Copies of this chain bind each other. A is one copy, B any other.
């Protein structure tokens, strides 16, 4: 029976054939222990000299790291094995002996590993991170489909920038200029007026010359947008969504979390509702903690976000930021125009902002005023104003950064490992 390592539990004491690569091996003279992987999992194959053909024994002896072959064997239940199973090898059929595989079990520098990202993906740690990324993607679709959101794909190529930003990649679009999208939000607002509740999930781009452990040049974002929904209702969706992601990973990726050595107690705790703190109180909290480098009206830096997050076990919503430091489309708090109906969700353990969200301005005159204040004279924005002219309704939305969320759930240092082929300031290869 041709199968995969992930399915051996269905074939206990039966003979199976699996296409595999060798990750490591050791030998005791009469027994060879082969560490095998097939992409779906890892298993040990045991070859006993007197029980296999001489050809099979010799073939196994010459196996090198990352050699590819079909292995035939009997599936044995083995409680000592990490996977719970072992393979008693009966035969093997070599596809290719690999020579000089560059990534050996010894330590390698990060740049070396990044240069070999196409191979580094095969390592157990990278494999675990990207399987958790896959689960977060899968759970995102499950969550938004179950909540009756329609997936809408906003364009990547646009004639203007979403927030008047300058960190844009430019390209020539036939006879005119185009830019790579930094956010699909404005388009999602149009879509929400047509479909009620919508979400996007696609790549976004920031040509930012920053080199931190939290930034990628190309990253994926989920951007839900909801008509007839105020900011409070949006916060409830956000905390339920993030809880669902974390609980889904706990449920469906236990062995990947184990591979990463993740402290599960930090994740098991992550259940809605999440605590909230206003920007005002966050400033006070920072002052109490001895920060003298921030005043009301200024945006937080990474150390501030970390200090705020440290005061809570759960992700925390920081709400009602000053109007002047937030995007032009955010709705002012009624009766207190100097702050907006918004929140950033800060992940625990110093992972920083994973969600930014707000209620949007629905009043045409106020939006026009903001256009003027922000010099948004580009006619490419005309259509966005029209959303407030033809049946404007209260609406809210948010954006979650996939890679930052993966980094937090995995508990890893640097965001570059959360992307299969990360794009960084100095890296566009492989």
Residue positions of A touching B, CB distance < 8 A: 4, 6, 19, 21-22, 38-40, 66-68, 70, 95-96, 98-99, 101, 116-119, 121-122, 126-127, 130-131, 133-134, 137-138, 141, 145, 148, 150-159, 169-174, 176, 178, 180, 187, 190-197, 202-203, 205, 207, 209, 217-218, 220, 227-228, 380, 383-384, 386-387, 389-394, 419-421, 423, 425-426, 428-430
Cross-chain contact A138 with B151 (CB below 8 angstroms):
yes
Chain B residues near A387: list those with CB within 8 A.
118
Select A393's contact among B68, B380, B392, beta carbons within 8 Å: B68
Q: Which 3 A-B pairs have the closest CB atoms?
A: A39-B196, A19-B228, A121-B194
- Which residues of chain B come closer than 8 Å to A390, judged between CB atoms? 66, 98, 101, 119
* Chain B residues, CB < 8 A from A22: 391
Check B67 against A391 for contact (C-beta < 8 Å). Answer: yes
Which partner residue on chain B sits nearest A429 by CB separation? B159
Measured between beta carbons, the chain B residues less than 8 angstroms from A137 are 151
- Asked whether, in the complex, the Cβ of A227 is within 8 Å of the Cβ of B39, the reply is yes
Q: Which residues of B contact A421 (CB under 8 A)?
A: 154-155, 187
A173 to chain B, nearest CB (A): 6
Cα-based distance from A178 to B425 in the complex (angstroms) = 12
Q: Are B39 and A428 in contact (CB under 8 A)?
A: no
How many copies of this chain sit in the oligomeric assembly?
2
Q: Which residues of B contact A380 (CB under 8 A)?
A: 429-430
Contact A121/B157 with A6-B148, A98-B390, A227-B39 known, Cβ cut-off 8 Å:
no
A-B contact pairs, 15 of them (CB 8 A): A4-B196, A39-B196, A66-B391, A68-B392, A95-B392, A95-B393, A95-B394, A99-B389, A126-B194, A130-B195, A153-B203, A153-B220, A156-B218, A157-B218, A187-B421
